[in-house]
């Protein structure tokens, strides 16, 4: 009887381990900020304190440059509206903009960085929505998005001094198999001193976007590198 019980417990443990591994390798990445928060990203400074933002805020204040974001949430570093639930509780309204230390409207005032978790390059290209200021990485006050590998910037992109985001693309075929991170940079308080960013994908040679759970499964092989908080969001 004891041997039978031990066998059953062993089988149950193996089953649970297999289920856990499958769940871990099926997690995805907060590539479009549709969690409504900064899960999978780590911020510095104050620029991302009210991010991601919800809805087409530029249009809400009659800017004439629609955000052209994907879904409900996106990074708009001039924005200070966090949606009909959280935003309403904080006294925010659609179209609200960032503020300076005195509480005045100052869309470009806050500065900071936002760094993603690590992921592997498995596609031929990366594409994303990008807008905001045209302040390159090698300028005095950059506002851009960088692809970083071993602390080196291997790709960088800016907006076109326009709130409307457009689809942009990097050729990353030479980086296949490498582990990288995305870093959103806001280091300017001057005019157009903010980036807009959303909806990040890797694509294969035919241009088809690769599901992030497949990409993260490659990253997860051989290690259990996610926290319980992350796991809860991505169990399937």
Do the domain assignments include residue 148? yes
Do the domain assignments include residue 2? no
Q: Look up residue 7 and give its two tokens.
A: 């066998």
> H helices of 44-165, where?
57-60, 88-89
Rounded to a whole number of angstroms, the CA Rg of the chain reads 20
Residues 61 and 183: their CA atoms lie apart, in Å, by 28
Residues 64 and 158: their CA atoms lie apart, in Å, by 20
Do the domain assignments include residue 208? yes
Do the domain assignments include residue 168? yes
pLDDT band for position 157 (50/70/90)? very high
pLDDT band for position 83 (50/70/90)? very high
pLDDT at 10: 61
Helix (H) or strand (E) holding 59: helix 57-60
Largest CA distance in the chain: 77
Beta-carbon count within 10 A of 12 CB? 10
Do the domain assignments include residue 15? no
pTM confidence score: 0.83
Length of the chain, please?
Answer: 236
Q: Is the pLDDT of residue 166 over 60?
A: yes
Do the domain assignments include residue 9? no
Residues 132 and 49: their CA atoms lie apart, in Å, by 18
Q: Look up residue 71 and give its two tokens.
A: 């879904």
Q: Is the pLDDT of residue 22 over 50?
A: no
Query: Which has the closest alpha carbon to 196: 79, 49, 42, 41?
Result: 79
Do the domain assignments include residue 85? yes
Beta-carbon count within 10 A of 49 CB? 13
Model confidence pLDDT, tens digit, residues 211-224: 999 999 876 554 43
- Which tops the pLDDT comparison, 230 or 160? 160
Domain of residue 154, residue span: 36-234
∠ CA 42-46-47 to the nearest 5 degrees?
85
Model confidence pLDDT, tens digit, residues 98-138: 999 999 999 999 999 999 999 999 999 999 999 999 999 99
Do the domain assignments include residue 17? no
Residues 52 and 29: their CA atoms lie apart, in Å, by 15
Pairing of strands 195-203, 152-157: unpaired
Domain count across the chain = 1
pLDDT at 19: 45
pLDDT band for position 236 (50/70/90)? very low
Query: Which has the closest alpha carbon to 170: 128, 115, 139?
Result: 128
């Amino acid at each position: 009887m004891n041997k039978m019980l031990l066998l059953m417990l062993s089988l149950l443990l193996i089953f649970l381990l297999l289920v856990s591994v499958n769940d871990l390798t099926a997690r995805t990445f907060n590539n479009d900020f549709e969690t409504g928060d900064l899960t999978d990203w780590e911020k510095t400074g104050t620029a991302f304190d009210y991010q991601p933002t919800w809805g087409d805020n530029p249009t809400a204040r009659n800017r004439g440059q629609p955000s052209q974001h994907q879904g409900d949430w996106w990074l708009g570093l001039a924005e200070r509206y966090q949606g009909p639930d959280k935003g309403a509780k904080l006294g925010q309204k659609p179209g609200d903009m960032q503020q300076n230390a005195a509480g005045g409207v100052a869309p470009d005032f806050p500065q900071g960085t936002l760094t993603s978790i690590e992921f592997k390059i498995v596609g031929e290209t990366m594409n994303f929505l990008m807008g905001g200021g045209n302040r390159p990485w090698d300028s005095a006050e950059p506002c851009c998005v960088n692809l970083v590998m071993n602390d080196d910037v291997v790709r960088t992109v800016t907006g076109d001094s326009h709130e409307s985001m457009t689809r942009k693309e990097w050729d990353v075929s030479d980086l296949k198999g490498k582990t990288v991170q995305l870093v959103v940079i806001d280091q300017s308080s001057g005019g157009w001193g903010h980036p807009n960013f959303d909806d990040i994908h890797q694509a294969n040679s035919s241009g088809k976007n690769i599901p992030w759970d497949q990409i993260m499964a490659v990253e997860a092989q051989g290690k259990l590198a996610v926290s319980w908080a992350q796991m809860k969001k991505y169990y399937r």
